[in-house]
Amino acid sequence: MKKLILFTALITISLSCKKKEPEPTPPAPVTSIGAVYQGGIVFQLDEDGQHGLIITEQDIDTCKWTNEVGNASSFKLCFSQSFKDQNLGSGGQYVGAGSAFTQRIIDSLGTTGVYASKVCQNLVLNGYSDWYLPTYGELYIVINSGVITESTYTNKIYWTSYEENKPSALTAKIKSGGNVLSGQAYQKNVLLPVRAIRKF
C-alpha cells in the first residue's frame, strides 16, 4: 500500500512539475493592404492577416454585362430575390457574394460570347485562375482601402456582379474629388471596363 501511495505521489509531482507549453505565437501577416500579392493588389485582410481579397492591377477588359443581344427589356433575369437574400453578406452590401453571383450569371447566360462575369472567371493571371466579378460592396471596400488612386481612375464606371433587374445591372463609379463610390444601374448591353477580384 505504501508503494502505491508513493508511486501515486511521484506521478502527481512529476505531472505538476511538467513544463507548461507556451501559447503558440500567432502567424505573422502574409502581406499588407496595397501590396502586390498572388496576382493582384491586396485590398482587404482578415484579422490575422492570413486571408483576404485581391483586385487586378489593371482593367482586364471592356465588355457588356450580358452576352444577350436585342432589346434590353427581353434580357434574362439571372437572380431571384431569394438568391439575393441568401447572399446578402455583412452590412447588406453583398460583400463576399461576388463569386456566387459570378457563377449564377454564367449558369444563366451560358459560356458563349464575351461578357463581364465570363471574362473574370476565365482570367488566368500570374498562375491564378479563381477570379470573379466583384459586387458593389466589394468594390466599395477597394475604394476605401486606397489601393486604387483617384488620379488614375477618376470618373471611371465599372461593372459589378449585382443584377438590378432584367434590363440593367449595378455599376460602380469612382467620382472626382475623392475616393467616393457611387452606384448606378446601366443597361446590361453597355460596354464598360471590368476589374476582377479573388480570395486568398
* CA distance linking residue 124 with residue 107, whole number of Å: 20
Q: What is the DSSP letter of 185?
A: E
Question: What digits encode the pLDDT tens for the residues 164-192?
Answer: 888 999 998 876 554 566 788 999 999 99
The answer on pLDDT for 161 being more than 90 is yes
Q: Which of 114, 138, 112, 113 is nearest to 195 (CA)?
A: 138
The band of 152, judged by pLDDT with boundaries at 50, 70 and 90, is low
Q: How many CA atoms lie within 13 A of 102 on its CB side?
A: 29
The answer on pLDDT for 132 being more than 70 is yes
Tens digit of pLDDT for each residue in 62-109? 999 999 887 777 788 877 766 666 655 544 467 778 999 999 999 999
User: Maximum distance among all alpha carbons in the chain?
Assistant: 96
Structure confidence at residue 37 as a pLDDT band (50, 70, 90): very high
Could you report how far apart the first and last alpha carbons of the chain are, in Å? Answer: 62
Lowest mean pLDDT, pick from 58-62, 78-82, 120-124: 78-82
Q: What is the pTM of this model?
A: 0.78
Q: Is the pLDDT of residue 193 over 90?
A: yes
Given a cut of 80, whether residue 6 has pLDDT beyond it is no
Which three cell numbers mark 9?
505521489
Residue labelled with grid coordinates 496576382: 39
The residue with greater pLDDT, 88 or 51, is 51
Whether pLDDT at 43 is above 60: yes
Residue 17: per-residue pLDDT? 54
Q: Is the dihedral of CA 126, 130, 135, 138 positive or negative?
A: negative
- pLDDT tops 80 at residue 153: no
Average pLDDT value over all residues in the chain? 81
Distance between CA atoms of residues 161 and 183, nearest Å: 12
Contacts of 84 (CB under 8 A, 6+ apart): 94
Alpha-carbon distance of 196 to 175, in angstroms, equals: 20
- d(Cα 50, Cα 27) in Å, to the nearest integer? 8
